[in-house]
């Protein structure tokens, strides 16, 4: 029985959204133009369940570059209306179009000549008659078996709000990079904002030995810095190669087969020349792509004078959630 009920609810709400598609006409375009030309904030208001939906719609606008905040209408008529400025646009949500607290705010909105867009289920209502644009979010039935609890109607309203927000940020040319700026703590923000220089090991944290260093010193340096790699530099501290854990394993295999004493070797005899490097200004995600492309776990950051500026390891990228 519970599965049947769940399917019925989802079907009703899906149908409510589907029916909105045919209603998008010049009114939607007009509403979008008003939002696009808004030089203030998009003030979203609604009571009860409509208010909860309004908060999400406002958050979507704000996170996609359109300044917005939610005004609780009950608080609005008791002073919070002071937050509304002359250049703002009002997006009012009321299924009945007769919500007392919103109706009480209309004279103030009108006195300030604010544009009003309403999302409502009643065209012939006080809110509709006092709005510049009316977007129809009416539904034939709620998913509630008593047809009372706001369910399909709130779903339809949320979907219409999303349609406005997405159409607005497309019209404004909002890019993936812009989205990252508004979400610096999220995964996308980290991928698009963090650069190699934000994560790389520098100064004394860089594992580094000279070309003429013996392998004992190389191993000690790699062990102490715990990055599985060391940079090899010449007497002027310019990068000439690297030695990795993999190089050491292959060297041990050679020692067993050829009976050589690895500790008598110099770093220059073991190192890999021309290591892969990356710019400190490159995005961290570019470092990941480069490591994947070459099946490596570390990259050297080289300064303009060919000295070593830093090292970035795959673990650094993993810790920051770039991978």
pLDDT 10s digits, 47-102: 999 999 999 999 999 888 889 999 999 999 888 999 999 999 999 999 999 999 99
Asked if 257 and 282 count as a contact pair (C-beta separation under 8 A), the reply is no
**Residue 171 pLDDT:** 87
Structure pTM?
Answer: 0.64
Q: Is the pLDDT of residue 174 over 80?
A: no
Q: Is the pLDDT of residue 246 over 80?
A: yes
Q: Among the CATH numbers 3.90.380.10, 1.10.260.40, 3.10.580.10, 3.50.50.60, which is that of 196-319? A: 3.10.580.10
Gap between the terminal Cα atoms of the chain: 43
Alpha carbon distance 245, 8 (integer Å) = 60
Burial class (CB in 10 A: 0-12, 13-18, 19+), 227: buried
Query: 19 to each of 13, 139, 152, 302, how far by Cα in Å?
Result: 10, 8, 11, 59
Q: Is the pLDDT of residue 177 over 70?
A: no
Question: What residues does 232 pair with on adjacent strands?
Answer: 209, 241
Asked if 312 and 200 count as a contact pair (C-beta separation under 8 A), the reply is yes
Instruction: Convert the pLDDT of each residue in 11-27 to its tens digit.
Output: 999 999 999 999 999 99
Residue ranges per structural domain of the chain: 2-174, 196-319
Pairing of strands 42-46, 89-94: parallel
**Residue 242 pLDDT:** 95
Q: What average pLDDT does the structure give for the chain?
A: 89
Q: Among the CATH numbers 3.90.1150.10, 3.40.50.10490, 2.102.10.10, 3.10.20.740, which is that of 2-174? A: 3.40.50.10490
**Residue 220 pLDDT:** 92
- The H-or-E segment that residue 120 falls in is strand 115-120
Q: How many helices (H) and strands (E) does the chain have?
A: 15, 11
Burial class (CB in 10 A: 0-12, 13-18, 19+), 294: exposed
**Residue 184 pLDDT:** 53
The average pLDDT across 303-312 equals: 92
Alpha carbon distance 202, 52 (integer Å) = 48
**Residue 87 pLDDT:** 94
Q: Give residues with Cβ within 8 angstroms of 119, minimum separation 6.
A: 91, 92, 93, 94, 135, 137, 157, 160, 161
**Residue 263 pLDDT:** 79
Alpha carbon distance 220, 216 (integer Å) = 6
Residue 48 gets the label, from left (phi > 0), alpha (psi -120 to 50) or beta, of: left
Sign (positive/negative) of CA torsion 86, 26, 62, 55?
A: positive
The average pLDDT across 160-189 equals: 73
């Amino acid at each position: 029985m519970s599965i049947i009920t769940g399917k019925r609810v989802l079907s009703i709400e899906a149908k409510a959204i589907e029916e909105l598609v045919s209603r998008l006409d010049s009114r939607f375009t007009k509403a979008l133009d008003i939002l696009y030309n808004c030089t203030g904030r998009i003030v979203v208001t609604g009571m009860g369940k409509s208010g909860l939906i309004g908060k999400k719609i406002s958050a979507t606008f704000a996170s996609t570059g359109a300044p917005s905040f939610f005004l609780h209408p009950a608080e609005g008529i008791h002073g919070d209306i002071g937050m509304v400025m002359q250049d703002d646009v009002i997006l009012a949500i009321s299924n009945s179009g007769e919500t007392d607290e919103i109706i009480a705010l209309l004279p103030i909105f009108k006195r300030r000549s604010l544009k009003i867009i309403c999302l409502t289920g009643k065209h012939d209502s006080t809110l509709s008659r006092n709005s510049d644009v009316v977007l129809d979010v009416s539904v034939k039935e709620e998913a509630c078996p008593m047809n009372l609890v706001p369910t399909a109607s709130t779903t339809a309203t949320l979907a219409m709000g999303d349609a406005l927000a997405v159409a607005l940020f497309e019209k404004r040319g909002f890019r993936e990079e812009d989205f990252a700026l508004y979400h610096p703590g999220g995964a996308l923000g980290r991928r698009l904002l963090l650069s190699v220089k934000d994560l790389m090991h520098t100064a004394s944290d860089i594992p580094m030995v000279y070309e003429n260093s013996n392998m004992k010193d190389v191993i000690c340096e790699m062990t102490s810095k715990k990055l599985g790699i060391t940079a090899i530099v010449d007497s002027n501290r310019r990068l000439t190669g690297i030695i990795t854990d993999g190089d050491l394993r292959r060297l041990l295999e050679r020692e067993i087969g050829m009976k050589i004493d690895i500790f008598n070797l110099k770093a220059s005899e073991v190192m890999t020349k021309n290591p892969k490097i990356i710019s400190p200004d490159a995005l961290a995600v570019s470092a990941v792509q480069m490591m994947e492309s070459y099946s490596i776990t570390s990259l050297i950051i080289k300064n303009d004078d060919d000295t070593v500026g830093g090292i970035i390891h795959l673990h650094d990228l993993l810790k920051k959630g770039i991978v």
